[in-house]
Amino acid sequence: MSTITLTTWSLEMTSPDDLSPSAVPGSEIAVRRAEVPSPEFSRFLYTAVGGDIHWTDRLSLTRAEWAEHLGRPGVETWVAYERGTPAGYVELDPQDDGTVEIMYFGLLPDFRGRRIGGHLLSVGVAAAWSLAERWPDREPTRRVWVHTCSQDGPTAMDSYLRRGFKVFRTETEEKEYAPTPGPWPGA
């Protein structure tokens, strides 16, 4: 099996004033919070967005494990739609110390390169900063962070930087190369 060099960057914002929102790409794009946790819908988004960019860490989770994660207070999924069709999503995962991690963010392949991602990321980051308003038992957000890697899309890092994130850690490792499972593992 061959190996690849994988670089992972961790980025953060420490103030809501750091957010530099993207322009709204058009009236046909809407971003809404999925207020009812749905393991099936979340798994669909995860595989549809991450299938061609090596997202595999959640593929083995059972429905019960998905439900447990999504049911945690403060975990939110925000979905971008184009004329009613899901185009991408951002998943927020709050921690007990006022930190909110953007666990997953991305677009389905057919929606990439159309200026939807910057808008979705802007909405997701704003939602991370205001999370305690929707979840009064959560501590107010003091930090929002995300990681991206060299296997993500070619514009991912630039998009994070344009929104106002700053790199706080870079890690490099040799990793076994595995072909992407595609959006339909096992197909």
Q: What are the residue ranges in the chain where pLDDT is below 70?
A: 1, 179-187
| Amino acid in position 155 | T
**DSSP state at residue 36:** S
Write down the pLDDT at residue 72: 96
Domain 3-175 has CATH 3.40.630.30: yes
d(C-alpha 164, C-alpha 12), whole Å: 8
Instruction: Name the 3-class secondary structure at 10.
Output: strand
Instruction: Name the 3-class secondary structure at 129.
Output: helix
Two tokens, residue 24: 């709204």
Write down the pLDDT at residue 177: 75
d(C-alpha 87, C-alpha 26), whole Å: 13
| Amino acid in position 5 | T
Write down the pLDDT at residue 42: 96
* Residue where the block lists tokens 């739609």: 81
Return the axis-axis angle of helices 39-50 and 63-70, rounded to nearest 10°. Answer: 100
Write down the pLDDT at residue 185: 52
